[in-house]
Chain A
Amino acid sequence: MYAACFLAFCTGFLSLSLEILWIRFFGFATHSMPQGLAFVLAVYLIGIAIGAYIGKKFCERKFDLWMVSGIALLVSSVCDLTGPWIFASRICKRSSIPILS
């Protein structure tokens, strides 16, 4: 129970820290336009909603939930490491961000 709470605390801490960083990325790219914040918040919330739905499906079946959590964290850490690089090298080089323009 304590381990699950600790894991939830750590993932919450890291995801909100990353959210702030992504808002900063989009803030730089959009010259602090409010659409940057709105876009990051919307994408984060859609991701959380879909993730919660997928998580519920895992909980309904006989999976090793620690293993599932570990794989999810591994995948997210790869995305965390590559995301800013992809954003900087592929998206920011354009004159405007297509999705926000």
Chain B
Amino acid sequence: MRTSTTILSRQFTLSTPTIHLILYVLFFCSGCSALIYQVMWQRMLFTAFGVDLVSVTIVVSVFMFGLGIGGLVGGRLADRMPTRLLALYIFIELCIVVFGFFSPGLIDLLGSVLFSSNQVLTGMTSFIILAIPTLLMGATFPILVTHVNQTRKNIGESVGGLYFANTLGGAMGAYMAGFVLLYSTDMAGAIDCAAVLNLAVAFTAYIMFKEEL
């Protein structure tokens, strides 16, 4: 953020609190889509493994691994590119979209190729594949925190606000995945919904902040 306001077009300017509110809503939607992926990928791996406990353990641990290491990498990137943070955020969201759209086919392929392999190999392969999008998801947090903190100048509030929005979005995503999407569409359809949500986040961020990119 170069100034306290962002020029949306020649007619409109946004105040800093409004910009932060928009980023919170975008990050809420990112969290929502992340948990839709998590629930759906677990179901898909369950289909591939046939064992619920293994798929749950892999998905939960790969998400924690990705969010942790991704956060570390995202923090380094944010330090190196302090003026291109929003562009970086949009790029990462688009990468998640691409992976999301292809993930059902990829997991199906994994299941068919590793059908007769042992569980350790299948588990490790699934972990490595799912680590890619989760690393990307994890990287968005420090990038947005750094961006918000450039104007807010209070790291506690920046982290707290974004973390709160993202976590609540995650809760909403988990609820939506189990109690709404699975009743109205299949697993691939639910993943497509999450990918479209990520795409909407990237597109909205681009439209709102294109003058800054």
Contacts and interface: CB of A to CB of B under 8 A. Distances in A.
Interface of A: 12, 16, 19-20, 23-24, 27, 32, 34-39, 41-43, 45-46, 48-49, 52-53, 56, 59
Given A35-B182, A38-B177, A39-B175, 11 more contacts: A16-B60, A20-B53, A20-B60, A24-B53, A34-B42, A34-B177, A37-B178, A42-B171, A42-B172, A48-B167, A52-B167
A34 B57 CA distance: 14
Given A23-B56, A32-B52, A39 B170 contact: no
A49 B56 contact: no
B38 interface: yes
Size class of B's contact patch?
A: 20 to 34
A62 B168 CA distance: 27
B53 A52 contact: no
A38 B56 contact: no
A56 B160 contact: yes
Contact of A32 (B35, B46, B168): B46
B164 interface: yes
Contacts of A56: 156, 160
